[in-house]
Amino acid sequence: MAFGHRLWWVDAFIGDAERGNPAVVVLLERPLPDEELQQIAFELGVTETSFVRWVGEQWSLRWFTPTTEVDLSGHATLATLHVLLTELGVPAAELYFQTRAGLLSGRRLGDGMLGIDLPRSFIEPVDAAILNDTLGPVSEVYRAGAQSVLAIVKDFDTLCGLSVDPMSLFLVPSAMVIAACAGGPGVDVSIRVFAPRLGLAEDHVTGNAMCAIAPWWVEQVGSPTVSVHQASARGGVMYARLFEHNVEVAGMARTFFGGDLRA
């Protein structure tokens, strides 16, 4: 089949009062040079743009922020799954994506939920000095894989009250800094996520943060499942289930609009 460069704006990880994180999913008819992909992502201006293309016998998936290509994007993967299943009606019980993070998969779950499998992080405690006091007092700090730091703050009010200077946070040796606390509005855990090195002062809703949150939660309470609220301006709701090598991250998505890419 030959597809045009069609696109859809999708809000991923929405809730009753949460608007989720926007991602634009671009369905490519043919390969485009990396510099063109980056320019398209810059023009679209959302936190992540997905470029998906049928290559051989599988889907190829890449993600770009307005400034750089990233190795993994949870909300943009959920948005892509939503487009393929809902907008294009791809007839598959399980979809697979070849990505820079390896082979990822996704599926429909019950009650309108979608689930994607992301590689789990293995967390290890580190000295809080790694944060250069950018988040104020924290009770625990963990290195979560090669790209993330997880910091635990006192409670939900503390989390919501964080005032973070992106330039100071840029000096933290990590692409993504996750601030988290136990509890929140009807959930097990609440988080905020900062990624100035990726061109995102604060992310709206971050699916791949669950790769660190799920292992941390299992260490705290022993449960392999966790519900999470992201306390950003838009807000989002996510659910995660921990396995040995991956985390199934679940949530809901909706299409805001669709169109054609004229590039």
Residue 247 β-bridge partners: 118, 242
**181 membership: H or E segment, kind and range:** strand 176-182
pTM of the model: 0.94
196: which DSSP letter? G
Of the listed 48, 69, 94, 244, which one is catalytic? 48
Do the first three CATH levels of 6-117+250-260 and 123-246 match, i.e. the same topology?
yes
- Residue 257's pLDDT is what? 94
- pLDDT, mean of residues 242-249: 96
Q: Is the pLDDT score of 2 beyond 50?
A: no
Cβ neighbour number for residue 132 with a 10 Å cutoff? 12
Q: Is the pLDDT score of 172 beyond 50?
A: yes
Residue 236 β-bridge partners: 230
Q: Which of 144, 153, 205 is nearest to 175 (CA)?
A: 144
- Residue 254's pLDDT is what? 98
Q: Is the pLDDT score of 149 beyond 50?
A: yes
Strands 123-125 and 21-27: unpaired
> Which are the contacts of 80, defined by CB distance < 8 A and separation ≥ 6?
23, 25, 50, 52, 61, 97
Task: Return the CA Rg of the chain.
Answer: 18
Q: What is the pLDDT of residues 47-89, one digit of tens each?
A: 999 999 999 888 999 999 999 999 999 999 999 999 999 999 9
Q: Which CATH class is domain 123-246?
A: alpha beta
CA atoms within 13 A on the CB side of 171: 11
Q: What is the pLDDT of residues 186-225, one digit of tens each?
A: 999 999 999 988 888 899 999 999 999 999 999 999 999 9
207: which DSSP letter? G
Please indicate whether residue 36 is annotated as part of the active site: no
Helix then strand then coil, % of the chain, to nearest 5: 20, 40, 35
| 32 three-class SS | coil
Domain ranges of the chain: 6-117+250-260, 123-246
- pLDDT, mean of residues 133-150: 92
- Residue 156's pLDDT is what? 97
**In the CATH hierarchy, which fold is given to the domain comprising 6-117+250-260?**
Diaminopimelate Epimerase; Chain A, domain 1 (3.10.310)
- Residue 5's pLDDT is what? 85
